[in-house]
Amino acid sequence: MFVEILSSAAMGSLLGYTYIYQAGLGGNDKKKIENIAKNCGLVAKDGKTIRIHRRSKKDGYTEYVFQIPQGLSAKEFRNKLDHFQDGLNIKKSVLDLALSDFKEVNWRGDLLSEIRAVIEKRQKLRKTVEVEFDGMLKFRVYNEGLPELFEYTEELFDKVKTWEIPIGVALGGRLIKHDFDKLAHMIIGGTTDFGKSNALKVIITTLIHKQPKHVSFSLIDLKGGLSFSRYKNVKQVDRVAKNSKEALEALEAVQLRLNKTMEYLEANGYEDVKEAGIKDRHFIVIDEAADIADNDKCQEILKDIARRGRAAGFRLLYATQYPTRETVSSQVKRNCITRLCFVLDTEIASRAVLDEGGAEELPLIQGRAIYKAHKKTVIQTPYIENKFIEKTIQPHVNIRAKRESGKRHEQGHTKGTTRRKHTLIVEETALS
């Protein structure tokens, strides 16, 4: 009896909330957006303001499409994004609840506590807004912001193909993938301790798992070799260089290989490795590139790799706190179209990485970054645990491959030869 009374009380309050939502008193973000626009002065001279065209509910967010009155620009709305964000989050005495909020309620359990939990969760939520313009002004109001932790799990491997990497999760839970087949080189920037090395480990581990026969690496770790030490016996890793002398040796070996591949392509009239049917790709990964900034020989080779490497199947990954003109040459930057940038302290620093501001406004959350390929997306990068890395690379560890490595990286990139050498060693040692 008591349970029944409680249930009907809970049900009553639930229906009350739902009614409020449907009546538009609680969850009316459209009205709020219109009001915020007016209050921010986003009104044309003739008094006209934005007019709703369409509202659609998507997975994780609601999209409001508006028509802009003549005389106003999308940029003016984008500039007021903070006002929309805060305005949509102003706490009111009436809570915005929809039936979907009650999807996970266990109706057979302690109903009052379950409903209290739903209400508390809703109270804590902060809506996040995105504005886009494609002829119409689109406001996307997300129910939840980005997660503060996005763990790298086995399932992510199935979500990427060929040379793709799960680089992060965006608003609405959208997985952002970087494709090294389409965008060859990448600069990774950001304040110390916010996730550059972790992002490099995500990339290296994914590639070893997805492309074990075709990927190879030269790892240049100028932070003392610690970030990459666990990869040093992996058969896909040709070298781990730990200081600028070893870095130069590694880069010279890469350049030799690049020259041989270019000669092969030229001699056979191929435009690039894709046309030649060469599936192997070599990644030059540099953690803390500032330490080789004043080494002219290293810089010359890096410029060469950035310029000619794409066609020959070489990929440059360049991590540094922020690439000023002194630390990264303009040629390298021009050829590294993709940028991944963690939080930075000033707009000037952000411009050095992204060629525009934005990174200075990122919240101080480890792993939070701006991924810029053709457009900018704020993401939470996956956090990869060392245990997960070890489990993933374990089948590829091969001690004897290291002894051969000196010989291997001097070889040219003639079709298919490099990886066959690996395969032979694996058969011999049966470690993998």
Q: x-or-dash pattern for ligand ATP, window 323-362, by CB under 6 A?
A: ----------------------------------------
Tell me which residues in 46-65 interact with ligand ATP (CB under 6 A).
Answer: none
In terms of C-beta density within 10 A (0-12 exposed, 13-18 middle, 19 or more buried), how is residue 279 classed? middle
**Quick one: CA torsion of 349, 353, 356, 359, rounded to 10 degrees?**
-70
H or E element, residue 333: helix 330-335
For the CB of residue 160, give the shortest distance to ligand ATP in the complex, in Å: 17
The residues that bridge with 287 in the sheet, in sequence order, are 221, 319
Sign of CA dihedral 231, 233, 238, 244: positive
Q: Which of residues 205-234 bind ligand ATP (CB under 6 A)?
A: 223
SS3 366: coil
* 196 contributes a contact to ligand ATP by CB under 6 A: yes
Cβ proximity of 222 and 376 under 8 Å: no
Residue whose CB is less far from ligand ATP, 261 or 380 = 380
Residue 237 CA to residue 404 CA, distance in Å, equals 11
* Binding of residue 149 to ligand ATP (CB under 6 A): yes
Q: Which is nearer to ligand ATP, 129 or 340 (CB)?
A: 340
Q: Decide if residue 195 touches ligand ATP (CB under 6 A).
A: yes
> Which stretch, 45-53, 233-241, 343-351, 379-387, contacts ligand ATP (CB under 6 A)?
379-387
Q: Residue of minimal CB distance from ligand ATP?
A: 367
User: Which residue from 110, 193, 275, 428 is in contact with ligand ATP, where contact means CB under 6 A?
Assistant: 193
Query: 62, 128, 198, 261: which one contacts ligand ATP (CB under 6 A)?
Result: 198
Cβ(37)–Cβ(87) under 8 Å? no
In the bound state with ligand ATP, the residue whose beta carbon lies nearer, of 90 and 364, is: 364
Q: Which of 190, 212, 309, 323 binds ligand ATP (CB under 6 A)?
A: 190
Of 157 and 270, nearer to ligand ATP (C-beta) is 157
Give one DSSP letter per residue of 75-133, joined into a string: HHHHHTHHHHHHHHT---SS----GGGGTT--TTS-HHHHHHHHHHHHHH---EEEEEE
Which residues face 66 on adjacent strands? 52, 137
Contacting residues toward ligand ATP, per CB under 6 A:
149, 190, 192-198, 223, 366-367, 381-383
